[in-house]
């Protein structure tokens, strides 16, 4: 099929002098503790004129171009909502609207009127000064169901959606609450810290100098490390019933005389309070020689017993974390992680830069995977299996382009889960990765937090030991004033060498592990749709959204090639519902091929890609866009800058 887009050039000659728009719309589940399920659905949007100059604090992720809409024509932005069911025709109802008054518009809205387990569609629309409604983007969200049984899972027997560079505005912008609000979507954060601030306070940024971050709730961001820690602590104080928070502190520079390991620990203690931090010596307890021995004997506490706790993990090259371990020893406030690429590194941590003799202080592991082609250094996925089999806790992250954190697709995320990655660090923390519930799920093949051989070897205090069938307790000492719980499905056998001392608080019971806490649980009454059913419903809503009427969905609509004329960049924007590869080719007036760009869409609907024509001479060029079996033709004019 051949189509000549004659209107494109004339239209875009006009839009070049007007201000087309770029839009970001995010819809995300809010949760505090997996036992409670979703507590709200948070929506926020950003809308920029296409001539907006990008800065360090506005690194973009998932911006969608609307070249046919003039920014100056928009009066307000509206957010609407409808429930999705298998037998109900969706009807959108207005939730809120925002008047655009600046050159950059943004806003957020928290929806607390929902049923757990139900799926909703949220729509972002623009209202013009003439009252015309221009529908922009649809997003779906399934709310999480309360799941108290997760509180019996041990920390090393779960996997969680973690944040990669959660301090960056591109991950969660300052205007929407920054690092503070990011904790509603993941309780596993990352801060990149630099010690070139001579006042003893670390800076937080990815590259460059100074502070470039979303820290400091209620501010425009770009604050010091202390503001970031205060954001975490303030969220912790306001939500004391939260799942354990893990803060990965990535050391970008060596410790020095103005930034020592002791100074770091002092800041952590002052801000969080020692009693709120789960520390290395807590893992060791009274019965193990070192952290590795404690971890290998599964002495990790349960999620329920870590409720309201904060865990600090230092990452970075081996020399930096080794300096911390050597200086702080058993007084350390933070755990330390080794960056490894294979099982050999795990067995010989000196290969990972850890100083000889400090190996027993490493029970956390950091692995890069799904890095961009220019990053390199991806770890062997089997190392996830290996570290998990030893009851260590691992984290995986992707290496990205141009200072942006690497991100994971759903298939890559599933792949990481298949290899027992505990904390899967993504940039798109507001996205739902199925089959996660509220960002936390069992490890594969772990149907219940069963103990090794159904025996307890630990005497760690304040812990829940749980098994699906039977518990046989041996070598167990519960000290006075200590709290200890044993929960099993069928039986609990206390051997002769179990010593429960007077003054201890021990809870031993046969239970299905659903009564481990008092939580504000919502009634789950919604229709739970499969992802396939959601995709079908959203497909129909998107067809309506874009005014897509052709019976043959192979065709594309809303094709724009802009700006035209152009001096350096050509943008291609269109809508299509088949994930067909696109090939954009440019020919000069003699018919000679001068440029080709390939594009692979990741999702159906709006598509956008760009190519540079800096190297081409000024003049007129013919283009061909081939999407699947469809071909579209037009002209592009190259001019001098």
pLDDT at 254 (0 to 100)? 94
Element (H or E) spanning 284, and its range? helix 280-284
Residue 166 has pLDDT above 90, yes or no: yes
Which range has the top average pLDDT, 193-207, 250-264, 620-634?
250-264
Structure-model confidence comparison of residues 465 and 390, the more confident one = 390
**Nearest partner of 193 among 270, 243, 261, 276, judged by Cα:** 261
C-alpha–C-alpha distance, residues 39 and 17, integer Å: 45
pLDDT at 104 (0 to 100)? 67
pLDDT at 457 (0 to 100)? 35
Residue 260 has pLDDT above 80, yes or no: yes
CB 384 within 8 A of CB 356: no
pLDDT at 456 (0 to 100)? 38
In sequence order, which residues have a C-beta less than 8 Å from that of residue 208 and are 6 or more positions away? 56
* Residue bearing tokens 């309360």: 146
610 pLDDT band, cuts 50/70/90, is confident
Residue 380 has pLDDT above 60, yes or no: yes
State the average pLDDT for the chain.
81
Structure-model confidence comparison of residues 125 and 429, the more confident one = 125
Q: What is the mean pLDDT of residues 152-176?
A: 86
Residue 417 has pLDDT above 90, yes or no: no
In sequence order, which residues have a C-beta less than 8 Å from that of residue 204 and are 6 or more positions away? 167, 191, 192, 193, 194, 211, 212, 213, 215, 223, 224, 225, 228
* Least confident stretch, 115-119, 151-155, 577-581: 151-155
Sheet holding 569-576, edge to edge: 557-562, 569-576, 605-612
pLDDT at 547 (0 to 100)? 66
C-alpha–C-alpha distance, residues 176 and 190, integer Å: 18
Alpha carbons within 13 A on the beta-carbon side of 334: 27
13 pLDDT band, cuts 50/70/90, is very low
Structure-model confidence comparison of residues 448 and 478, the more confident one = 478
CB 335 within 8 A of CB 364: yes
**Nearest partner of 403 among 48, 165, 196, 50, judged by Cα:** 165
Tens digits of residue pLDDT in 42-98: 999 988 887 776 554 444 556 788 888 888 899 999 999 999 988 878 899 999 999
pLDDT at 454 (0 to 100)? 35
427 pLDDT band, cuts 50/70/90, is confident
Residue 9 has pLDDT above 60, yes or no: no
C-alpha–C-alpha distance, residues 606 and 48, integer Å: 17
Tens digits of residue pLDDT in 215-239: 999 999 999 999 999 999 999 999 9
Tens digits of residue pLDDT in 307-345: 899 999 999 999 999 999 999 998 999 999 999 999 999
Residue 174 has pLDDT above 80, yes or no: yes
Choosing among 3.20.20.190, 3.30.930.10, 3.40.50.2000, 3.40.50.12780, the CATH entry for 155-442 is 3.20.20.190
SS3 176: helix
Beta pairing, strands 423-426 & 158-163: parallel
SS3 142: strand
Structure-model confidence comparison of residues 579 and 407, the more confident one = 579
404 pLDDT band, cuts 50/70/90, is low
Structure-model confidence comparison of residues 461 and 258, the more confident one = 258
Residue environment code for 396-435, b if the CB has 16+ CB neighbours within 10 A, otherwise e: bbbbbeeebbbbbbeebbebbbebbbbbbbbbbbbbbbee
Q: What angle do CA 315, 216, 242 make, to 5 degrees?
A: 65
Share of the chain above pLDDT 70, in %: 80
Structure-model confidence comparison of residues 115 and 313, the more confident one = 313
Element (H or E) spanning 81, and its range? strand 74-84
pLDDT at 103 (0 to 100)? 65
In sequence order, which residues have a C-beta less than 8 Å from that of residue 101 and are 6 or more positions away? none
CATH 2.60.40.10 in the chain, residue ranges: 21-143
The backbone torsions φ and ψ at residue 79, rounded to the nearest 5 degrees and listed phi first, read: -115, 130
CATH 3.20.20.190 in the chain, residue ranges: 155-442
Residue 515 has pLDDT above 50, yes or no: no
pLDDT at 470 (0 to 100)? 66
CATH 2.60.40.1930 in the chain, residue ranges: 555-638
Structure-model confidence comparison of residues 164 and 87, the more confident one = 164
pLDDT at 153 (0 to 100)? 73
C-alpha–C-alpha distance, residues 33 and 26, integer Å: 21
The backbone torsions φ and ψ at residue 115, rounded to the nearest 5 degrees and listed phi first, read: -115, 130
Structure-model confidence comparison of residues 400 and 615, the more confident one = 615
pLDDT at 539 (0 to 100)? 80
pLDDT at 511 (0 to 100)? 64
Over its C-alpha atoms, the chain yields an Rg (Å, rounded) of 27
Going by the DSSP 8-state scheme, the letter that residue 287 receives in this structure is T
The token pair at 80 is: 């609407």
In sequence order, which residues have a C-beta less than 8 Å from that of residue 400 and are 6 or more positions away? 371, 372, 375, 406, 407, 427
CATH architecture of 555-638: Sandwich (2.60)
549 pLDDT band, cuts 50/70/90, is low
**Nearest partner of 298 among 465, 487, 430, 513, judged by Cα:** 465
Q: What is the mean pLDDT of residues 500-507?
A: 81
**Nearest partner of 492 among 465, 513, 512, 472, judged by Cα:** 472
pLDDT at 443 (0 to 100)? 46
- May I ask the CATH class of domain 21-143? mainly beta
Q: What is the mean pLDDT of residues 447-475?
A: 48
* Least confident stretch, 165-174, 352-361, 487-496, 605-614: 487-496
* Residue bearing tokens 């875009």: 12
């Amino acid at each position: 099929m051949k189509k000549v887009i004659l209107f494109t050039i004339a239209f875009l000659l006009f839009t070049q002098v007007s201000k087309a728009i770029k839009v970001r719309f995010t819809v995300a589940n809010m949760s505090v503790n997996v036992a409670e399920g979703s507590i709200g659905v948070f929506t926020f949007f950003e809308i920029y004129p296409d001539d907006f100059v990008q800065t360090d604090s506005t690194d973009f992720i998932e911006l969608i171009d609307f070249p046919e809409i003039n920014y100056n024509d928009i009066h307000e932005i509206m957010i609407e909502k409808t429930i999705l069911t298998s037998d109900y025709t969706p009807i959108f109802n207005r939730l809120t609207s925002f008047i655009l008054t600046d050159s950059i518009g943004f806003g957020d809205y928290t929806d607390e009127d929902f049923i757990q387990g139900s799926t909703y569609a949220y729509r972002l629309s623009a209202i013009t000064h003439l009252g015309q409604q221009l529908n922009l983007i649809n997003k779906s969200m399934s709310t999480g169901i309360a799941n108290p049984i997760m509180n019996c899972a041990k920390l090393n027997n779960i996997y969680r959606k973690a944040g990669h560079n959660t301090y960056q505005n591109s991950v969660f912008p300052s205007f929407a609450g920054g690092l503070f609000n990011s904790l509603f979507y993941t309780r596993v954060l990352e801060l990149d810290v630099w010690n070139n601030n001579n006042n003893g306070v670390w800076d937080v940024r990815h590259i460059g100098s100074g502070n470039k971050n979303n820290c400091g709730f209620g501010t425009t961001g770009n604050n010091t490390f202390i503001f970031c820690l205060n954001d975490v602590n303030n969220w912790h104080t306001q939500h004391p019933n939260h799942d354990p928070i893990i803060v990965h502190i990535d050391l970008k520079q060596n410790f020095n005389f103005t930034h020592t390991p002791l100074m770091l620990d002092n800041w952590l203690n002052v801000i969080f309070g020692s009693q709120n931090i789960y520390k290395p010596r807590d893992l060791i307890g009274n019965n193990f020689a070192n952290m590795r021995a404690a971890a290998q004997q599964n002495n990790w506490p349960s999620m329920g017993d870590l409720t309201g706790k904060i865990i600090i993990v230092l990452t970075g090259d081996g020399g930096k974390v080794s300096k911390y371990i050597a200086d702080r020893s058993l007084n350390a406030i933070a755990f330390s992680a080794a960056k490894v690429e294979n099982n050999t590194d795990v067995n010989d941590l000196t290969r990972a830069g850890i100083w000889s003799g400090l190996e027993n202080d490493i029970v956390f592991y950091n692995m890069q995977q799904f890095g961009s082609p220019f990053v390199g250094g991806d770890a062997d996925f089997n190392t996830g299996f290996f570290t998990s089999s030893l009851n260590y806790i691992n984290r995986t992250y992707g290496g990205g382009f141009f200072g942006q954190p690497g991100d994971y697709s759903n298939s890559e995320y599933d792949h990481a889960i298949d290899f027992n990655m505990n904390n899967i660090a993504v940039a798109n923390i507001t996205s739902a990765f199925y089959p996660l519930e509220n960002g936390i799920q069992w490890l594969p093949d772990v149907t219940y937090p069963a103990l090794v051989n159904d025996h307890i070897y630990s005497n760690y205090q304040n812990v829940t030991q749980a098994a699906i069938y039977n518990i046989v307790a041996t070598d167990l000492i519960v000290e006075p004033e200590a709290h200890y719980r044993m929960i099993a499905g069928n039986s609990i056998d206390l051997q002769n060498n179990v010593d429960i001392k007077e003054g201890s608080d021990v809870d031993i019971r046969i239970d299905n592990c659903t009564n481990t806490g008092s939580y504000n649980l919502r009634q789950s009454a919604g229709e739970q749709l499969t992802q396939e059913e959601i995709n079908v419903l959203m497909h129909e809503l998107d067809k309506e959204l874009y005014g897509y009427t052709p019976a043959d969905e192979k065709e594309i609509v809303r094709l724009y090639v802009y700006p035209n004329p152009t001096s350096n960049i050509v943008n291609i924007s269109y809508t299509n519902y088949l994930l067909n590869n696109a090939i954009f080719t440019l020919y000069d007036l003699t018919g000679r091929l001068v440029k080709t760009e390939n594009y692979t869409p990741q999702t159906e609907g709006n598509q956008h890609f760009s190519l540079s024509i800096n190297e081409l001479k000024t003049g007129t060029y013919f283009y061909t866009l081939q999407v699947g079996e469809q071909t579209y033709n037009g002209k592009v004019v190259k001019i001098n800058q």
